[in-house]
């Protein structure tokens, strides 16, 4: 693997890159609408299905040539070899000399998966069995609080990858809840988040899961200490900590030191990246909410997408296609933003989840060997539940000056209670992708206003404001329903899409050094915030902020 690492080509100098630049120059002048007219089969040629997902990517500014050039670039960047490095447990996380073997967590095929020459499946299966035993005992009411009362609430304390996936999936799979245990999540260090949650729970019937791969993250450790102190104050019994606190971490010693007893310590491993850890014991809150059967159904979905990614030809490989489309817009059509728009409120935390997955992975400015890149990398990802976003930022998507790539997601079967609502949501979803692509000409706007009886002088005034340029790209991802297997496939789709892009850009998607500097400066600044020392060495703006703070505190 060292060879292919060293040999990442200088991207912008590659003939494949140059071809794409020239091709982009031509295609910029095309209209997606016209491409449909020229090819009546376009929607069929540019759509595909996996076990549970349907992707329509025909509303992109691409032709068959674009895909050929993009796959040519992927081949030149060694995508095939890198996929094998990933799946065979090579240390693809080069700066930390670690594998990124999240696929082992959902390896439902029962085959061996190796990291550093060692089969990790026995470890994975052991933790899964421990989770199953624990969750089942809890659901049967056999695992109880220190006073013998059944558990009514679970509070997950974690942040980033130890929070976002569990929250997102617990919300997404709400209809699959198998029990009445209430779930709560504390992530933000600010003190108000933990306060708001502790106010809602009874310590004698609450379990706390302290979830942190490192078990050193300041945010999580601060909230965990506060939760433990609050708990001890409330129940007046330090021995009860062992009964009410669970841990998920790769740092066993730190869990023990915190007071978590052996049987309540769930393990992950250094080869599980935080933002790839939902299918591990980090998903314990989800498993408690929906039961192990549903949790494992989600793992099945993950596994199906892993298999698809590893084996499907690239022109029929969903993560490869989506990854390459992202590269096309980022590097050749100058679209820095990528918006994610689910038309199902239960996916409302999915954009936040993807923000970490995509931006913490591919927000990098040097290649694996440390060379500064001379091209753009990770997209700026954001999103919101589609129907709500229509009433906030869609204006910019339709008439803003900068192109944005959009992913629309929707289940065929949404709300069981109010299917007519879901029909409206779907009508909006499909209409938005049409509106983005087709736009509205001055003539169309004029005709519409004439038909509505608008006075001619007002029509002329209004026309420039009513023109929609159109030609805005989108993917639409449909699925039968938002069930556990589908969610697993969806998450794995984006994980592998991110990996594909990292290979093209030649960057390591599995580290996150960019988050460290801010943490270090926060540690250094704390005494200046608390007033224990001045911050004479800080920049003038920071000194000004501190001065304001202290003026208003005194
Ligand atoms: O699980 P941990 O070790 O507490 O880390 C939480 C999160 O913090 C980060 O390291 C970023 O600060 C993420 O990568 C990670 O998911």
**Segment 381-420, tens digit of pLDDT:** 999 999 999 999 999 999 999 999 999 999 999 999 999 9
Domain C-terminal end among 263, 297, 331: 297
Non-local (6+) Cβ contacts of 113 within 8 A are: 87, 89, 101, 103, 104, 107, 119, 120, 121
Mutation pick for ligand 1 pocket among 93, 96, 158, 161 (CB with most ligand atoms within 8 Å)? 161
Picking from 280, 301, 306, the residue whose alpha carbon sits closest to that of residue 162 is 280
Give CA–CA dist 282/52, Å, rounded.
24
* Within a domain: 460: yes
What digits encode the pLDDT tens for the residues 247-305?
999 999 999 999 999 999 999 999 999 999 999 999 999 999 999 999 999 999 999 99
Give distance in angstroms: CA of 536 to centre of ligand 1.
31
The DSSP line for 191-236 is: SHHHHHHHTT--GGGEEEEEE-SSS--HHHHHHHHHHHHHHHHHH-
pLDDT confidence of residue 1:
54
- Which residues, in sequence order, are bridge partners of residue 150? 144
* Within a domain: 437: yes
Query: Which atom of ligand 1 sits closest to the CA of residue 162?
Result: 1
Mutation pick for ligand 1 pocket among 96, 100, 160, 225 (CB with most ligand atoms within 8 Å)? 160
Give distance in angstroms: CA of 247 to centre of ligand 1.
15
* 112 & 224 share domain: yes
DSSP 428: H
Q: Within a 13 Å sphere around the CA of 183, how many CA atoms are in the beta-carbon half?
A: 23
* 119 & 192 share domain: yes
* 39 & 70 share domain: yes
CA dihedral (512, 275, 326, 468) in degrees, to 10, reads -110
Give distance in angstroms: CA of 336 to centre of ligand 1.
25
* Within a domain: 2: no
* 55 & 18 share domain: yes
pLDDT confidence of residue 9:
65
424: confidence class by pLDDT, cuts 50, 70, 90? very high
CATH code: domain of residue 404: 3.40.50.10490
Domain C-terminal end among 262, 297, 332: 297
Give distance in angstroms: CA of 228 to centre of ligand 1.
21
Query: Which atom of ligand 1 sits closest to the CA of residue 159?
Result: 6
* 259 & 285 share domain: yes
Domain C-terminal end among 505, 522, 542: 505
* 363 & 450 share domain: yes
What digits encode the pLDDT tens for the residues 445-463?
999 999 999 999 999 999 9
* Within a domain: 398: yes
CATH code: domain of residue 526: 1.10.1390.10
| Domain housing 457 | 11-88+312-505
* 83 & 141 share domain: no
Mean residue pLDDT of the chain comes to: 96
Query: Which atom of ligand 1 sits closest to the CA of residue 158?
Result: 4
* Within a domain: 540: yes
* 439 & 321 share domain: yes
Write the residue with the smallest CA distance to atom 13 of ligand 1: 160
Write the residue with the smallest CA distance to atom 7 of ligand 1: 160
Question: What ipTM describes this predicted complex?
Answer: 0.98
pLDDT confidence of residue 3:
47
Whole-prediction pTM? 0.97
Query: Which atom of ligand 1 sits closest to the CA of residue 282?
Result: 1
* 438 & 495 share domain: yes
Give CA–CA dist 543/547, Å, rounded.
6
Residues with CB under 6 A from ligand 1: 159-162, 212-214, 217, 220, 274-275, 360, 512, 515
Q: Which residues are catalytic?
A: 360, 391, 519
Number of domains making up the chain: 3
Q: Is the pLDDT of residue 2 over 50?
A: no
* Within a domain: 97: no
Give distance in angstroms: CA of 429 to centre of ligand 1.
34
Give distance in angstroms: CA of 220 to centre of ligand 1.
9
* 254 & 129 share domain: yes
* Within a domain: 6: no
* 230 & 127 share domain: yes
Query: Which atom of ligand 1 sits closest to the CA of residue 164?
Result: 16
Non-local (6+) Cβ contacts of 429 within 8 A are: 341, 343, 386, 408, 410, 476
* 108 & 165 share domain: yes
* Within a domain: 302: no
């Amino acid at each position: 693997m060292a060879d292919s690492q060293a040999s990442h080509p200088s991207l912008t100098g590659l003939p494949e890159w140059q071809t794409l630049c020239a091709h982009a120059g031509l295609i910029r002048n095309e209209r997606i609408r016209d491409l449909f007219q020229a090819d009546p089969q376009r929607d069929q040629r540019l759509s595909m299905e996996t076990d549970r997902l349907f992707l329509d990517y025909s509303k992109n500014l691409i032709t068959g040539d674009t895909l050929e050039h993009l796959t040519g670039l992927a081949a030149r960047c060694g995508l095939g070899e890198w996929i094998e490095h990933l799946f065979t447990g090579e240390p693809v996380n080069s700066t930390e000399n670690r594998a990124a073997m999240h696929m082992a967590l959902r390896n439902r095929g029962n085959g061996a998966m190796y990291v550093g020459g060692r089969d990790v499946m026995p470890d994975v299966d052991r933790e899964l069995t421990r989770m199953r035993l624990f969750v089942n005992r809890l659901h049967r009411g056999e695992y109880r609080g220190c006073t013998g009362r059944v558990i009514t609430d679970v509070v997950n304390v974690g942040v980033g990858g130890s929070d976002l996936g569990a929250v997102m999936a617990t919300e997404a799979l709400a209809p699959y809840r198998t029990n009445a245990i209430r779930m709560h999540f504390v992530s933000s260090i600010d003190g108000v988040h933990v306060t708001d949650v502790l106010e809602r729970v009874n310590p004698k019937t609450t379990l706390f899961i302290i979830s942190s791969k490192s078990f050193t993250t300041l945010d999580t450790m601060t909230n965990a200490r506060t939760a433990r102190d609050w708990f001890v104050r409330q129940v007046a019994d330090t021995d009860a900590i062992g009964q009410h606190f669970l841990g998920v971490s790769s740092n066993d010693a730190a869990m023990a030191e915190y007071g978590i007893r052996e049987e309540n310590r769930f393990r992950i491993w250094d080869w599980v990246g935080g933002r790839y850890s939902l299918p591990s014991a980090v998903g314990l809150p989800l498993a408690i909410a929906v039961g192990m059967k549903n949790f494992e159904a989600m793992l099945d979905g993950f596994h199906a997408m892993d298999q698809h990614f590893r084996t499907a030809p690239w022109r029929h490989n969903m993560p490869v296609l989506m990854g390459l489309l992202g590269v096309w817009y980022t590097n050749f059509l100058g679209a820095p933003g990528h918006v994610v728009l689910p038309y199902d409120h239960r996916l409302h935390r999915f954009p936040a989840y993807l923000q970490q997955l995509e931006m913490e992975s591919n927000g990098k400015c040097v290649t694996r060997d440390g060379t500064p890149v001379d091209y753009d990398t990770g997209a700026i990802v954001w999103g919101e539940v589609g129907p709500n976003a229509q009433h906030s930022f869609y204006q910019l998507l339709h008439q803003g000056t900068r192109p944005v790539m959009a992913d629309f997601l929707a289940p065929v079967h949404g709300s069981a209670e109010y299917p007519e609502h879901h029909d409206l949501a779907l009508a909006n979803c499909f209409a938005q992708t049409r509106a983005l692509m087709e736009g509205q000409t001055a003539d169309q706007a004029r005709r519409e206003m004439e038909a509505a009886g608008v006075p001619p002088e007002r029509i002329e005034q209004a026309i420039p404001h009513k023109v929609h340029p159109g030609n805005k790209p989108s993917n639409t991802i449909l699925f039968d329903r938002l069930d556990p297997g589908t969610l697993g496939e969806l998450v794995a789709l984006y994980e592998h899409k991110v990996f594909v892009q990292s290979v093209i850009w030649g960057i390591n998607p599995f580290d996150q050094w960019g988050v460290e500097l801010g943490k270090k400066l926060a540690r250094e600044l704390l005494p200046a915030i608390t007033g224990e020392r001045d911050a004479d060495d800080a920049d003038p703006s920071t000194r000004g902020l501190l001065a304001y703070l202290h003026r208003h505190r005194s």
